Amino acid sequence: MSHLTTILAAAETHVELPMPTWAYGAIAIVIFLALLGVLMSYRDVANRHSHRSAADAASHAGAPGATHHGSGHQTQGH
C-alpha cells in the first residue's frame, strides 16, 4: 500500500488559485447582498399601489370561497 501512496503523492500537482481565498468569500457576500437588494425592492409592492386595485379588491371580496385575514380557517364538515 505504501507503493501506491508514493505514486499518488508523486502524481499530485499544485494548482495556484487565481486570487486569494478570502476574495471568493467577498465575491459571494457581494452577490448575496445584491440579490437581497432585488428581493427587498419587491417588498410591499401591492400595498404601494392599493389605490389602483381597491375597486377590484372590493368586487372580489364577496366571491364564493373568498377568505379574509382574521377570519380564520374554513372548517370542512363542521
Q: What is the DSSP string of 8-50?
A: HHHH------SS-HHHHHHHHHHHHHHHHHHHHHTTTHHHHTH
Full residue range of the structural domain in which residue 23 is found:
18-43
Residue 36 lies in a domain: yes
Q: Give the pLDDT score at 49.
A: 64
Q: Give the pLDDT score at 57.
A: 66
**What's the CA gap between 48 and 66, in Å, rounded?**
23
pTM of the complete model:
0.47
**What's the CA gap between 54 and 73, in Å, rounded?**
24
Residue 39 lies in a domain: yes
Residue 13 lies in a domain: no
Residue 1 lies in a domain: no
Residue 76 lies in a domain: no
Domain count, the chain: 1
pLDDT per residue rounded down to tens, the chain (78 residues): 678 888 777 777 778 889 999 999 999 999 999 999 999 998 877 676 666 666 666 666 666 666 665 555 556 655
Residue 30 lies in a domain: yes
